[in-house]
Structure 1
Amino acid sequence: MNIGIVGTGRMGTAIVRRLLDLGHDVQVWNRTAYKAHDAHEAGAKWTPILRDLVRDSDVVISFLYDNESVERVYLGANGLLTGRVEGRLFIDMSTVSPGPHAQIAVATAARGADFLECPVSGSIPAAQLGALVGFAGGEATVFTRAHPLLAQLCRRLEHVGPIGAGARMKLAANLLLAVFWQALGESLLLAGSPSMDTARVIDLLADSNIGAAILRMRATQIVAALNGQTSAPATFDVDAIRKDLRYMVQEAAERGNSLPLVTRALECFDRASSEGGGRADSATYPALWISQQVAPVEEPRGMNERQGLRPSSDSLRYADHGIPTHSEPV
């Protein structure tokens, strides 16, 4: 199958690799060409013009950063829908609000094309193994058409409702994740004791009734950050979480609801970003948040012990040990 991939960040590139491994012909587009280098090196064809990518593809999958990117790429003056789109299938896997998808669904239907939203949950390795979880929203007939391809990318694929339902489901999943990282920071601060090292605390929490799989999966990175060590490049950073949290608050407000935990978590993540931690990986956020609770250096002797975990406050200050950054969003 001829497949076009729009957006070659880390996840988009992982999907490219998966599709190439399965024998598909893949061409890619990214707003900044050099960020498509890895996808091109893996065997994908690079195209600089979106309408040309659509012309030469049976299916177009997009993986973009935010509402503005999705609207620009699909509906902009030089966007995906400016060329010959009749009969094509478009699938957007971006984590965005439902609003842009509703507009795109109307525009594609008017041009004789199909559109499905299917944001996914999972890691980069999961994407390369075809083990993502997909939240599909759209017409049942379009989901049926997309299912054989999406099943090659997802270990679990659910049609959760009409356009908008998939976007809301992904935001709901990320809500739990964002609040978890904030809660973990507070839990570690509360549980901290000078007689227990950080790795032991994390292991005990992971073995408790919370049973969060991500705590075991990311334990090494969490502990490294708590001990003031750098880690691998960010896969889901603080600024991306802030973006999602804002969409959650906005979507709830439009539906006449409020999200008090999300609102407070957003304030905490906003502070982390304003103090230089915007590009920090989410798994390192608990250490960043704890460092912000520690008193200034001139604190009385012994304050660190009362605050909690064994590492010194200086080792927890991200300004002292560069936090790795991720690629700029498409």
Structure 2
Amino acid sequence: MVAYLGTGLLGANFTRAMLKRGVEVQVWNRTSEKAFALEQYGAKAFEDVTKAVENASVIHLTLKDDASVDEVLEKASAAFKKGVIIIDHTTTSASGAVKRTAYWKEKGFVYQHAPVFMGPQNALDATGYMLVSGDRKLIANLQPDLSAMTGKLLNFGETVGKAASMKLIGNLFLITFTAGLSDVLSLAEAQDISTEDILSLLNEWNPAASSIPDRLKKMSGTDFSNPSWELNMARKDTQLFMNAVNEAGQSFTVIPAIAKRMDTLIAEGHGNEDWMVIGKKQ
């Protein structure tokens, strides 16, 4: 018997996928209608979270944050089966994952954090990525069931909480990347360039796919003395971006902050160094 707590878009489709694989699933959600909507697929829904976890040997969660995970698990624990395994797919802090792992172990239960890079359709189709770290033997035992939920299970070793950190890093990349694309669209609109034209450029010249590993390696170092693009020149182009957008009455999301960072580094004497010095730790 499996319990699933938190049946929003992701949790609901994880549940549906489990049901299709023949797993018996009991579900709970703070908004109970979302849980009861899964009964049409074969789930058994409960308004009381303690009833939802009764007789469950494994409990999956997809909730909002550290506080909601702690609150729901504490309430549900009154009905935990002895030796139950808690698998938490919520995006949380690394410190929270570490704390919960130790806390539930002390109480005689198992907590494993397993955040995901998956949307609702991925959860339904068992595609995408699931991240784990921590006890090697536990993860090996869980691997068949977790692998059935995702396209790829990424194991980051025995450091508890590392999977949470990797999830946050990945989400940060997605947010900054998307904000950067927002600025690309602003500049394109200011210069009457269509999205189709941008796509035609990126289909031929794909800097993200081809250069991210090299850029990351360069930025994590300390030697920026052999520039491929000087910071002074990058700052000049950044001003051209801002001028074009300002003249068109548009605005940027991230470029002004980057320009400010460039100005600080140039004032510190880094103008002739490689522009990737902007990634230097402050």
| TM-score where L is the length of structure 1 | 0.60
Task: Tell me if the contact between 1:70 and 1:100 (Cα under 8 Å) persists in the aligned partners.
Answer: no
State whether structure 2 residue 178 is matched by structure 1 residue 181.
Answer: yes
Identify the residue that residue 100 of structure 1 maps to in structure 2.
96
Task: Tell me if the contact between 2:26 and 2:43 (Cα under 8 Å) persists in the aligned partners.
Answer: yes
Identify the residue that residue 216 of structure 2 maps to in structure 1.
none
Q: Which runs of 5+ in 1 are unaligned?
A: 213-292, 296-302, 309-330
**CA pair 39-210 structure 1, distance change in 2 beyond 3 A:** farther
Identify the residue that residue 198 of structure 1 maps to in structure 2.
195
State whether structure 2 residue 142 is matched by structure 1 residue 143.
Answer: no
**CA pair 89-206 structure 1, distance change in 2 beyond 3 A:** farther
**CA pair 60-198 structure 1, distance change in 2 beyond 3 A:** same
Deviations 1:251-292 (A, max 9, x none): xxxxxxxxxxxxxxxxxxxxxxxxxxxxxxxxxxxxxxxxxx
**CA pair 17-200 structure 1, distance change in 2 beyond 3 A:** farther
The Cα of 1:164 is off from its aligned counterpart by 0.8
Task: Tell me if the contact between 2:17 and 2:125 (Cα under 8 Å) persists in the aligned partners.
Answer: yes
Identify the residue that residue 16 of structure 2 maps to in structure 1.
17
- Give the letter for the 1:4 counterpart: A
Q: Which moved further from structure 2: 176-185 or 139-148?
A: 139-148
**CA pair 50-107 structure 1, distance change in 2 beyond 3 A:** farther
Identify the residue that residue 259 of structure 1 maps to in structure 2.
none
- Give the letter for the 2:41 counterpart: A
**Higher RCO (C-alpha under 8 Å, 6+ residues apart):** 1
Any idea what SS the aligned residue of 2:7 has?
A: coil
The Cα of 1:39 is off from its aligned counterpart by 2.2
Task: Tell me if the contact between 1:81 and 1:108 (Cα under 8 Å) persists in the aligned partners.
Answer: no
Task: Tell me if the contact between 1:60 and 1:90 (Cα under 8 Å) persists in the aligned partners.
Answer: yes
How many pairs were matched up?
216
The Cα of 1:19 is off from its aligned counterpart by 0.6
The Cα of 1:124 is off from its aligned counterpart by 1.7
Matching residue within 76, 81, 90 for 2:77: 81
Q: Which runs of 5+ in 2 are unaligned?
A: 210-243, 252-282
Matching residue within 162, 185, 193 for 1:165: 162
Task: Tell me if the contact between 1:85 and 1:111 (Cα under 8 Å) persists in the aligned partners.
Answer: no
The Cα of 1:194 is off from its aligned counterpart by 5.3
For 1:201-280, list aligned pairs within 5 A: 201-211=198-208
Identify the residue that residue 35 of structure 2 maps to in structure 1.
36
Percent identity reads 28
Any idea what SS the aligned residue of 1:90 has?
A: strand
Task: Tell me if the contact between 2:39 and 2:45 (Cα under 8 Å) persists in the aligned partners.
Answer: yes
Any idea what SS the aligned residue of 2:151 has?
A: strand
- Give the letter for the 1:186 counterpart: D
The Cα of 1:110 is off from its aligned counterpart by 2.1
The Cα of 1:203 is off from its aligned counterpart by 4.4
- Give the letter for the 1:48 counterpart: E
Larger Rg: 2
- Give the letter for the 2:165 counterpart: R
State whether structure 2 residue 133 is matched by structure 1 residue 134.
Answer: no
Quick one: distance in 2 between partners of 1:196 and 1:44? 50
Quick one: distance in 1 between partners of 2:52 and 2:120? 24
The Cα of 1:211 is off from its aligned counterpart by 5.0
**CA pair 38-207 structure 1, distance change in 2 beyond 3 A:** farther
Deviations 1:214-250 (A, max 9, x none): xxxxxxxxxxxxxxxxxxxxxxxxxxxxxxxxxxxxx
